[in-house]
């Protein structure tokens, strides 16, 4: 019976063959000498001793004569990665082709560093119990390579498969927003909607909603008891008079140092000046809400408790103290009307920044009009209202309030911290009932809501401007997308238009509309970053300080008279040179940073070791085992860590616990010590598995030491600190060794050489001067807004002023881009466009390519049977594979649909609502073109399944769906015969197909 494959079977067989081949190639890189079998451009010998002649241009594999006379192998054991390197990495136009095509760079720099790095044995993702940066990078690289070759290598029947495959995650039909004429109804939320989202709609993060709503002085929350006058004969020295003068400095209090000292020693006075931050807390599971009152010291204690509960964990940083406040100016008439309605309100006409008498900083300013229907004439007239017609209210510590709000929400983003005892204790103490808040505090809450509301309204104004520009851009972008995919020369035509035109006004409609859309989005980003976000003020002060410190004039003169090529070479020599064989400046800089990190790691580990020893009499015994396993375990002489990895995976237990158990078997840990660790682990696991426990039951007497399983938690944390400490020591060694600095020097040269050639003739001094002017205008505007000294403190002027600053410097930016394009003698940017279109064409091969360049897998299977392949077994495995993929797709779709329906059924919080509007506007302007390239939803889902990247699904989904999905993923599908086919014939077919 002849062997046959259906279109779906052939498609998934190809995917699995490519997956198996890529997996094999990546696993081979665990060998320190892997590159010796890679082929061009690496050497098969020892790169540190094999000094060959430099070959300048070798864009293809070496000839037979070259291969026979030199150590470069003429074939490769890595067909996929070799083709990817030669055709998609080495040909990037932004690289210096003269240098990147040289074998000397790859062999004497890259290969030497790789072999040196691999011999150091850094920790793996399993050691860290988290995805390391190397693992994340490897996963992304795997997805890119697999995506490229799944789409770039086609089969005979694959066109039929794509016609049959109708899988979609959702209805991706493109919306036509042109038909919606009313922008306010479509994309712009009303003021009332914003206020509701701000004040009523919860903003839950991992089950908690934190909003620091008010700041109040001690006396506002705990007013002094009113002391009645006793009689006219009461002497001034009575106790009531003494108490009154003790609570506030009187002019006479400075007449005597002893009196002043006595008053300074009284805690009641310092408490009166101390500010308290009132935070509204909501719990999603119980739908309860309450207020807590905390001082800066309380927040500081929270940070300290969290660092003890989670040693070694990177936590959000406690914000620095800030005394910046704002003042709201309200018309007396409006305030009177609000009072008559029986509730506090602050319909603002102007928000003016202010700060305490001893404040070193300035506050952000915003503005809000009570009625959107006021005319400009009325606004102008109201600027001259009499002072008696307005009421000014001061909002102290406003920036500290928003910083604390950001801090609490950042903490809640970590699920472990959100369930921690430290945070639970923090939000369970210092409670205040809403009805017991003083009227002054309630009024302060309303005032601060007005500030938040004004920021939102300004963001909405930007959204409206962006959407109006989107309507102009939408039609041209649709045509733009079609032309890019169909006409290879269209992008080059646009690029040449930029080169030929001297100003934005001369550009064609699509480019001009696109520039307008980018301009508005840049303005919105500036506002959101510096004025609209909780952490914007701190960022602005840093930018402002940096702007003042930059020596623009000196740098401009240097750029004007210096040769960029020589200057860059001089900078490289400055940082990379190793005088008298010592460390270079760059090596010294990074070594110094790593030394400081090691000191902090060492201090943290010593503190944790002391804590562990105080918690258990076996602490020192366990610490010695952990330290030896990490720092003195060369060649697995103390314990085989690879075997422990496998055991921990199979037992679903933490690696540190398996390590202690193994050491107990080897009589390196006593049974009593192991028993205590196991008991603590049981308590720790029970505590962490209790996802839905009521955290609000924690009382003020609870301490961090009462956390169940804290001993094991500390052991686990110490183990991770040891691993990071060892990695930092190895990284310090990497920086001190010459291999890395030599590689960096060559890589910098590869990157900067093409760009320096362009910048050398593109008037960089003029561009830098224009950048200085832009920063002067922007920093000046933002500074005036925050100080309240600018007329931009009216409702729309803040938005309009930022947009005008961007518009003012639009031509300068375009002139810079124009100069770069005009002087691109090497055609670097045109080559970059050609390079990108080449990638798009390659991605379309499996879907739209001709039959001549396709693989006939049926013939390949028949050919493989001659070498011992079992075709019947292969057919069965392919059928099982197809069924498994279909089941995984269905569960994937169910999870996505569940999330979509859940999101549609619930109300959006404030951030989600604002983000959704921006996404709608951006989607309308830049419609997705993934399907046109050749990638449908099914292909992208299969890619996630192949690589094991499920970040798209990591959300609060239905547990049953998640369990079912995991069961399908963990169900092993026998692909042994497919792997056998990869080794027998497919690998060699790839070499032939990819011309390697």
Q: DSSP string spanning 603-658?
A: HHHHHHHHHHHHH-TTHHHHHHHHHHHHHS-GGGSS--HHHHHHHHHHHT--HHHH
Q: Are 39 and 73 in contact (CB under 8 A)?
A: yes
Give the H/E segment covering residue 27.
Answer: helix 7-28
- The 10s digit of each residue's pLDDT in 52-76 is 444 444 444 444 334 333 444 457 8
| DSSP-derived pairing of the beta strands 208-217 and 288-294 | unpaired
CA-CA distances (angstroms) from residue 178 to 175, 190, 384, 468, 469? 9, 21, 43, 10, 12
Closest residue by Cα to residue 449 from 569, 326, 622, 554: 326
Reading the block at residue 190, the tokens are 């009303």
Distance, in Å, from the CA atom of 661 to the CA atom of 786, rounded to the nearest integer, reads 60
| DSSP assigned state of 205 | B
- Residue 215 DSSP SS3: strand
Distance, in Å, from the CA atom of 609 to the CA atom of 604, rounded to the nearest integer, reads 9
Within 10 A of 297 (CB to CB), how many other CB atoms are there? 9
Does the global pTM surpass 0.75? no
- Residue 186 DSSP SS3: helix
- The 10s digit of each residue's pLDDT in 383-412 is 334 444 555 666 788 878 888 888 998 898
Return the pLDDT at 82.
Answer: 92
Q: Are 490 and 484 in contact (CB under 8 A)?
A: yes
- Residue 659 DSSP SS3: helix
Reading the block at residue 370, the tokens are 């009570």
- Residue 704 DSSP SS3: helix
Give the H/E segment covering residue 543.
Answer: helix 536-549
- The 10s digit of each residue's pLDDT in 593-645 is 888 888 888 888 898 899 899 888 998 999 999 999 888 887 778 888 888 88
Map tokens 């197909």 to a residue: 993
The β-bridge partners of 391 are: 330
- The 10s digit of each residue's pLDDT in 320-364 is 887 766 665 555 454 444 444 434 433 333 433 433 433 333 333
- The 10s digit of each residue's pLDDT in 282-294 is 888 777 889 999 9
The β-bridge partners of 217 are: 275
- The 10s digit of each residue's pLDDT in 720-762 is 888 888 888 888 888 888 888 888 888 888 888 887 777 777 7
> If pLDDT is split at 50, 70 and 90, which confidence band does 134 have?
low
Please give, one letter per residue, the 3-state secondary structure of 412-427: HCCHHHHCCHHHHHHH
| DSSP assigned state of 343 | S
Closest residue by Cα to residue 5 from 166, 157, 160: 157
H-only helix segments in 737-809: 738-759, 764-787, 797-808
Closest residue by Cα to residue 271 from 249, 247, 235: 247
Mean per-residue pLDDT of the chain? 74
Which own/partner contact pairs does 200-204 have at CB distance under 8 Å and 24+ positions apart? 201/907, 201/908, 201/909, 201/910, 202/282, 202/284, 202/909, 203/409, 203/909, 203/910, 203/911, 204/282, 204/284, 204/909
- The 10s digit of each residue's pLDDT in 709-721 is 788 888 988 998 8
- Residue 212 DSSP SS3: strand
Q: Are 670 and 618 in contact (CB under 8 A)?
A: yes
Residue 118 has pLDDT above 50, yes or no: yes
């Amino acid at each position: 019976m002849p062997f046959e494959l259906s279109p779906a079977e052939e498609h998934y067989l190809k995917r699995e063959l490519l997956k198996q081949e890529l997996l094999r190639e990546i696993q081979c890189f665990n060998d320190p000498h892997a590159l010796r079998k890679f082929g061009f451009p690496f050497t098969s010998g020892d790169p540190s001793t094999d000094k060959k002649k430099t070959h300048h241009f070798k864009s293809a594999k070496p000839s037979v004569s070259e291969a026979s006379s030199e150590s470069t192998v003429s074939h490769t054991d890595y067909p996929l990665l070799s083709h990817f390197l030669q055709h998609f990495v080495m040909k990037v136009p932004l690289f210096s082709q003269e240098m990147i095509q040289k074998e000397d760079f790859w062999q004497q720099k890259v290969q030497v560093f790789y072999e040196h790095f691999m011999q150091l044995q850094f920790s793996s993702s399993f050691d860290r119990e988290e995805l390391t940066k190397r693992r994340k990078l490897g996963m992304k690289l795997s997805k890119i390579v697999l995506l490229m070759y799944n789409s770039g290598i086609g089969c005979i029947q694959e066109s039929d498969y794509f016609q049959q495959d109708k899988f979609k995650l959702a209805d991706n039909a493109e919306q036509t927003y042109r038909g919606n004429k009313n922008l306010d109804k479509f994309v712009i939320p009303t003021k009332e909607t914003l206020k509701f989202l701000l004040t009523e709609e919860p903003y839950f993060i991992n089950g908690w909603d934190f909003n620091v709503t008010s700041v109040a002085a001690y006396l506002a929350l705990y007013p002094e008891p009113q002391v009645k006058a006793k009689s006219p004969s009461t002497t001034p020295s009575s106790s009531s008079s003494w108490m009154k003068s003790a609570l506030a400095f009187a002019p006479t209090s400075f007449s005597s140092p002893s009196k002043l000292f006595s008053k300074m020693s009284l805690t009641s006075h310092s408490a009166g000046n101390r500010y308290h931050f009132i935070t509204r807390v909501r719990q999603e599971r119980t739908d309860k809400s309450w207020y807590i009152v905390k001082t800066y010291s309380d927040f500081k204690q929270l940070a300290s408790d969290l660092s003890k509960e989670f040693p070694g964990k990177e936590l959000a940083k406690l914000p620095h103290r800030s005394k910046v406040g704002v003042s709201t100016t309200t018309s007396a008439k409006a305030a009177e009307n609000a009072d008559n309605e029986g509730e506090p309100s602050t319909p603002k006409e102007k928000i003016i920044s202010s700060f305490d008498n001893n404040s070193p900083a300035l506050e952000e300013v915003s503005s809000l009009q009570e009625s959107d229907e006021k005319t400009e004439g009325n606004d102008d007239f109201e600027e001259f209202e009499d002072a008696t017609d307005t009421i000014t209210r001061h909002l102290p510590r406003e920036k500290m309030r928003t910083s604390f709000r950001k801090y609490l929400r950042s903490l809640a983003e970590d699920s472990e911290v959100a369930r921690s005892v430290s945070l639970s204790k923090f939000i369970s103490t210092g409670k205040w009932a809403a009805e017991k808040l003083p009227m002054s505090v309630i009024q302060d809450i309303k005032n601060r809501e007005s500030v938040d509301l004004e920021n939102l309204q300004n963001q909405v104004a930007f959204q409206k401007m962006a959407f109006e520009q989107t309507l102009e851009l939408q039609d041209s972008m649709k045509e733009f997308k079609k032309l890019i995919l169909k006409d290879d020369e269209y992008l080059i035509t646009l690029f040449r238009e930029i080169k030929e035109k001297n100003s934005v006004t001369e550009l064609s409609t699509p480019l001009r509309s696109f520039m307008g859309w980018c301009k508005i989005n840049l303005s919105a980003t500036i506002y959101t970053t510096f004025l609209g976000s909780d952490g914007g003020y701190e960022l602005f002060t840093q930018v402002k300080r940096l702007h003042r410190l930059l020596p623009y004039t000196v740098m401009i003169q240097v750029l004007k008279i210096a040769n960029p090529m020589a200057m860059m070479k001089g900078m490289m020599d400055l940082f990379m040179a190793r005088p008298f064989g010592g460390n270079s400046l760059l090596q010294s800089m990074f070594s110094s940073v790593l030394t400081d990190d090691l000191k902090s790691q060492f201090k943290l580990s010593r503190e944790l070791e002391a804590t562990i020893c105080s918690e258990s009499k076996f602490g020192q015994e366990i610490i010695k085992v952990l330290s030896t396993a990490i720092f003195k375990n060369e060649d697995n002489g103390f314990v085989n860590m690879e075997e422990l990895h496998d055991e921990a995976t199979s037992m679903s237990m933490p690696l540190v616990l398996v390590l202690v158990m193994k050491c107990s078997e080897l009589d390196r840990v006593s049974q009593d010590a192991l028993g205590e660790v196991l008991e603590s682990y049981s308590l720790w696991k029970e505590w962490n598995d209790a996802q839905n426990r009521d955290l609000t039951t924690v009382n003020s007497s609870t301490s961090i030491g009462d956390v169940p399983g804290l001993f094991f938690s500390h052991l686990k944390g110490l183990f991770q600190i040891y691993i990071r400490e060892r990695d930092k020591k190895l990284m310090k060694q990497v920086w001190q060794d010459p291999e890395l600095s030599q590689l960096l020097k060559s890589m910098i040269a590869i990157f900067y050489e093409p760009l320096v050639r362009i910048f050398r003739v593109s008037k960089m001094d003029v561009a830098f001067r224009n950048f200085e002017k832009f920063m002067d205008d922007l920093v000046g505007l933002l500074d005036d807004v925050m100080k309240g000294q600018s007329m931009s403190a009216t409702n729309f002027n803040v938005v309009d002023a930022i947009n005008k600053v961007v518009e003012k410097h639009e031509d300068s930016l375009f002139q810079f881009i124009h100069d770069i394009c005009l002087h691109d003698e090497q055609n670097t940017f045109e080559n970059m466009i050609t390079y990108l279109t080449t990638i798009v064409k390659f991605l379309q091969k499996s879907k739209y390519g001709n039959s001549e360049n396709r693989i006939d897998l049926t013939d390949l299977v028949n050919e493989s049977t001659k070498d011992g392949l079992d075709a019947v077994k292969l057919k069965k495995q392919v059928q099982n594979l197809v069924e498994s993929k279909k089941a995984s797709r269905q569960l994937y779709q169910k999870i996505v649909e569940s999330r979509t329906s859940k999101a549609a059924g619930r109300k959006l919080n404030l951030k989600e609502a604002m983000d959704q509007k921006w996404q709608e506007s951006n989607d309308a302007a830049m419609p997705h073109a993934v399907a046109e390239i050749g990638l449908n939803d099914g292909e992208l889902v299969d890619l996630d399944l192949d690589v094991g990247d499920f970040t798209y699904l990591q959300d609060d989904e239905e547990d049953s769906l998640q369990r079912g999905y995991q069961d399908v993923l963990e169900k092993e599908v026998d692909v042994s015969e497919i792997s056998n086919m990869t080794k027998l014939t497919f690998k060699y077919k790839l070499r032939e197909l990819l011309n390697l």
